[in-house]
Each structure stands twice: as structure tokens, then as C-alpha cells.
A and B are shown apart, each in its own frame.
Chain A
């Protein structure tokens, strides 16, 4: 069955530190990739997405992610985090119709940024 792995469940950083959150998925095919974010007390919202083209995608609030097909990875990055980036981050993968066409989420990474 399809699965999505996020490498760290909890990450603590100081403001201005660089961030990289790992995400790997179980196998290939033409997938669509997403990062969602959930700020404290708010609902899940889309941070960025990759469908095709340039494997380096930019999202809101200075986040970017790189798709590496050979590694089945879609890691999230931000050069300099802010206290307001404290949130839970979910990687999600949507496989094509022949693999069920459903959005599968990783377990999430809770990021705490110390001011």
C-alpha cells in the first residue's frame, strides 16, 4: 500500500535557523505532492504543491520544496525560520487513478521555533 514517511516528529529551532523537513513516499508512478501546514488553533492549509515541471517549487511565507524523483522525496525547506512558523507540517502524496487516486498524508512534523 502507498505510504508517506516524515523523518522527524518533533523539531525545535531557534529563530533565523534553517529548516529542512524530510518526506519520502513508498513508490513511484506519476504522483502529485503537497505540503500542508496547521498553525495552532487553525485548520490545515496548503503550503505548496508540485505537479510537474521545475522540481524546485516555491510556496507561501518563504517555504520551498524540492522533488527528487530518484529518491522518492519531497523535502521542505526554509532558509530562516520565524517564531510564527511554529506549526505542524504534513507531507501528502496523491497517487494516480490506477493506484487509488487518494491523498495520503505523512504523520506530521511539529515544529517549534524559539524566539
Chain B
């Protein structure tokens, strides 16, 4: 089965610019997650979708980050404007359903460098 797809794989921007990342989850997976992984740390959940609705965005910096999953399939995460501290790998994951018993499958990530 095809895995979680993400693009682009790498992105370099200057601070105050905007950037968007795209994710296509595994077919049939209702739950989609975006994580931020800063160098030397583990992934940190930014936002969780169940179909096209937001379940948890408590750790999303909403003044600059936004995400959508309009048709309940693929998703876009945007940063506007970017700051130096946003340099990180942005991981997308999906699972068949919500809940702690559902294994999350991860994409390859997008490595963002903000100069």
C-alpha cells in the first residue's frame, strides 16, 4: 500500500516569507496529523484532523500557522509569516481512526530552513 506522501521534501525561505506544505495520507485513513520536529527533539503534535474537522489544534501557533483538510483527504499546512524558530522538519501522519489504539503512519517530512 502507498504510504503517506509529503511535498516538498526541502524548503528554504527567508524570515517573514510564507510557505505551504502538502500531505496526502494513506487511502482510507480518516485521521491526519501534522507534527513539528525541531532538531534534537521528538515530534510535537501541531494539529489533528478527523475527516475534514479539526479535533485538536491546541499546540498550533494560530497567529502564523494554519492548516486545512477541505475534502477529508489531503491537507495543507501554511506558515505566514515565517520566523527563524520555525526551522524544523514538518511531519504528516495518518491513522485509520482516532484513538490511542490506532497506529500512526508517518510521511518522509518536509525540512524547512528559515534564514
Contacts and interface: CB of A to CB of B under 8 A. Distances in A.
Contacts of B33: 103
Interface residues of A, number: 26
Tell me the dominant secondary structure on chain B's binding face: loop
Interface stretch (B16-24, B80-88, B105-113): B105-113
Interface residues of B, number: 24
A95 interface: yes
Given A43-B108, A43-B109, A44-B91, A103 B45 contact: yes
Interface in B20-76: 33, 40-45, 48, 56, 58
B73 to A, nearest CB: 20
A46 interface: yes
B42 A102 contact: no
Given A43-B3, A101-B99, 10 more contacts: A32-B100, A32-B101, A43-B107, A43-B108, A51-B101, A101-B56, A103-B45, A103-B104, A105-B42, A106-B42
22 contacts: A9-B40, A36-B106, A43-B91, A43-B106, A43-B107, A43-B109, A44-B43, A45-B106, A46-B103, A51-B101, A90-B42, A92-B42, A96-B100, A101-B98, A102-B56, A103-B33, A103-B45, A103-B100, A104-B45, A105-B44, A107-B41, A108-B41
